Structure 1
Amino acid sequence: MNQVIDWLTNKAAPVMKKFVTKPWIATIAESMQKIIPFILAGSLIFLYNVFRSYIPVLPDLSNLSNFTFGMLGIIVAYLIASEAMENLKHPQYLQMAGLTAIAVFFITVNPVINKKGLFIAEFNRFGATGLLVGMLTGLLVALVFHLWSKLHLLEESSIPDFVVGWINTIIPILINVALFSTIVFVNKLDPFELINLIFSPLQNFGQTLPGFLLLSLIPTFLYTLGISSWSFNAVSTPIFMAGITANIAAVAAGKPATNIATSEVMFTTALITMGGMGATLTLNILMLFAKSTRLKAIGRICLIPSIFNINEPIMFSTPVVMTPILMIPMWINAITGPLVIWVVMRLHWLNIPAKMIQIGQIPAPFSSVMITEDLRAVIWYVVLFIIYLLTWYPFFRVYDRQLVKQEGKQNN
């Protein structure tokens, strides 16, 4: 085990950290993080609609969701193109690349412009349905700007700098618009259908049990190495968004929700991520009874954040990160929690969420009941609480003893 941990510490972690800081990878990860406010804004409206279902006289605020969460595709297209220019050191193209990505995204929704000049397109393509298309649109637009910048056209000429700047901006804009116009309007290809076809194996795998377990385990594993789980959002967010969008549509059509791999299941219910990723709430509670004075003090300080499913304080102050004896139970929890939830939802012992609410700081089991709309969530909260507690306990005891010995030596 020591050899494995040594390899993780000295080999794997540095390589992974270097990989996620590469410009193109960092661009996707940063963009996924920056769209969170729009997702949360939409989540607030879905949360409001829960109350509205019981109090029908409340006003309809659907448009607030339509123009926040419902704009995710076009927003991420802009963000990725502009973030890429910043990470690739092309500040002169930062805004123009983002705006070009918006123009190109309008092309990719495959609109119909009738004789009266009306622009007709499927509205849902602008939202979560268009997330993957927005990501790829932003990346391709950014790639064209990046490659063009390498030509350094007219930079050594006697032409005024502002004219050179115009030329070197206009040409990549035209290339992007012409390229996508040819694909959509000339060749009659629908980018949404094409991209969904290409990525459907990934989307489908994410909704299987092995895929669901990996969506939990991989970011938890990275987190224990000190690598932000946000770097994995480029993979998980499109899968989660497609899953909850399909659940909402299914329920609206009178059919049952079937997709378990959603952010609502993984995070908002706080059953899998009880206290935060890796289910650290029970660790925090155990720390309150630690014999180590340091561990007990940290447990008291971190308890309130843990109740609200915020575990950065406990992860980095205990620390769990890069502490082998505490990393292992986190990995175990990242498997057992999703496994239990998958089984009980597939057996219809707990409702599958069909509302898009991604406010992960609602304490459980209140959030568990609210998201699943099922009182049985309390039972499964208690079951998982016990499982997590039993998982953490032996590892915690060993770590507590180690710290007590260290504190004794320091006092001597």
Structure 2
Amino acid sequence: MKKIMLWITDKFAPKMNKVVENPWVAAVAGSMMKGLPFILAGSLISFYNVFRSYVSALPDLGKVADFSFGFISIFLAFLVANQCMEKKKLSRYTIVAGLISIAVFVMFSMPEFNEQGEIILTFNRMGATGMLVAMLVGLFTGCIFNLYSKLHILENNVTIPDFVTEWINNLIPILCILLISTTIVFTIQFDIFDFILSLFSPLQNFGQTLPGFVLICLIPAVLYTLGVSNWLFYAASLPIFMAGIQGNIEAVAAGKEAVNIVTSETVFTAALITMGGMGATLPLNVMMMFSKAKKLKVMGRICIGPSIFNINEPLVFGAPIAFNPIMMVPFWLTSIAGPVIIWFSMRLDLLNIPYRMIQIGQIPAPFSSVMITEDMRAVIVYIILFAVYYIIWLPFFKVYEVQCLNEGE
């Protein structure tokens, strides 16, 4: 393991750090950290809803999530553009760039206007579904302001008052951004949300194969480490999941065997692939609880409750894993190893394939694993997978722990 740790420390991490330190990448990473309180608010409500599903007398706090994490894309549209200006040392544009970025994001969400003059927005595009679009809009806005700043228009002009110069230097990039955006949205009628979904649509042709299964688990994991919620990809994977479980239900009802492995029940409800949440972060959370680094120990103990119920936003953005070059890779590797092991376990009849529709991902494993597969062998698979995930996480965690200790010194 020492050789692996040395390779991570001496070869891999420095190269990845160069990527993460790029001002545009750093702007997105900084935006995610500043938006973390809103993400955590949504996660806490998800955690609360686990108990509410068993105690119906508890009040519904869904609106708290709707008006925090439910608006995360709007917040990110502002923050990404704002942080781009900060990282490019263009502080005079930070607020204006953020505000126009919000306007452009709302425009790209394809609003409708009725005869009463009301604007109609698709609410889910304001939340996790729109995070990638919000980031792209923020980067686009930042890019235009950055390019304009290189023109040095009206700089050092003593004949024009400073406030007029500031107005002009804000107005020109704003008009450029709006002209480009209105052309794309209203003239060309280009829906970027539908376009992004279309990029993933080929998966539906081979979703019930091993490569399809791996990609369905890996792609959202990669997006997650880049700060994009897996809800964006879920719209592409849902048809595969629904067709798969429906086929299994019908097969068992007809006296045949369930054959479709790629279902929401296998990926989420069983909590074998998503042990502790996407990326199988439960073993990592356990390591963090006993870490020598105070930061990791505290975060591990804070996050263990949600992790048991497979909610890991606090861990992903708090440790952090997102935009952390050392911790991103094991997150991806576990998202490959889990599906491969589950695929062969079910294909070789070492574990039953789920055939009941129970789409709840917040039941702790291995209880959920046994419940959905109706197979006690799920406990053995759980133990094996926990060990595999632990081994994958260990060398990367150790390197990151040393890094945290050095920073503390």
TM class by smaller structure: 0.5 to 0.7
Q: Evaluate the alpha carbon distance shift between residue 26 and residue 88 of structure 1 in structure 2; reply closer, same or farther with a 3 A threshold.
A: same
TM-score w.r.t. the length of structure 1 is 0.64
What aligned pairs does 1:221-232 form with structure 2 within 5 A after superposition? none
What aligned pairs does 1:13-412 form with structure 2 within 5 A after superposition? 13-158=13-158, 159-198=160-199, 208-211=212-215, 214=218, 233-234=225-226, 237-238=228-229, 240-244=230-234, 258-259=263-264, 266=274, 268-269=276-277, 272-276=280-284, 280=287, 305=300, 308=304, 336-341=337-342, 348-349=353-354, 354=359, 366=364, 369=367, 380=378, 383-386=381-384, 388-389=386-387
Tell whether the 8 Å contact from 1:352 to 1:372 is kept in structure 2 after alignment: no
Write out per-residue CA displacement over residues 331-379 of structure 1, whole angstroms, 9 at most, x where no aligned residue.
986754453456679953498984586xxxxxxx847657998597996
Q: Which moved more, 1:376-385 or 1:118-127?
A: 376-385
Distance 1:252 1:62 in 2: 25
Q: Percent identity?
A: 35
Q: Evaluate the alpha carbon distance shift between residue 35 and residue 212 of structure 1 in structure 2; reply closer, same or farther with a 3 A threshold.
A: farther
Distance 1:106 1:178 in 2: 15
Q: Which amino acid aligns with 1:209?
A: F
- Report the Cα offset of residue 93 of structure 1: 1.1
Write out per-residue CA displacement over residues 217-248 of structure 1, whole angstroms, 9 at most, x where no aligned residue.
x98xxxxxxxxxxx9722x734x222456789
Q: What is the total number of aligned residue pairs between the two structures?
A: 345
The Cα RMSD (Å) is 5.0
Distance 2:37 2:228 in 1: 14
Q: Evaluate the alpha carbon distance shift between residue 90 and residue 270 of structure 1 in structure 2; reply closer, same or farther with a 3 A threshold.
A: closer
Unaligned runs of 5+ in 2: 247-261, 308-313, 320-324, 395-409
The 3-state SS of whatever aligns with 1:156 is: coil
- Report the Cα offset of residue 39 of structure 1: 2.7
Q: Evaluate the alpha carbon distance shift between residue 371 and residue 132 of structure 1 in structure 2; reply closer, same or farther with a 3 A threshold.
A: farther
Q: Which amino acid aligns with 1:348?
A: I
- Report the Cα offset of residue 269 of structure 1: 4.5
Tell whether the 8 Å contact from 1:29 to 1:232 is kept in structure 2 after alignment: no
Distance 1:123 1:87 in 2: 31
The 3-state SS of whatever aligns with 1:266 is: coil
Tell whether the 8 Å contact from 2:72 to 2:131 is kept in structure 1 after alignment: yes
Write out per-residue CA displacement over residues 132-165 of structure 1, whole angstroms, 9 at most, x where no aligned residue.
2111111111111111111111012112222212
Write out per-residue CA displacement over residues 194-218 of structure 1, whole angstroms, 9 at most, x where no aligned residue.
33334656999999333367569x9
Q: Evaluate the alpha carbon distance shift between residue 150 and residue 84 of structure 1 in structure 2; reply closer, same or farther with a 3 A threshold.
A: same
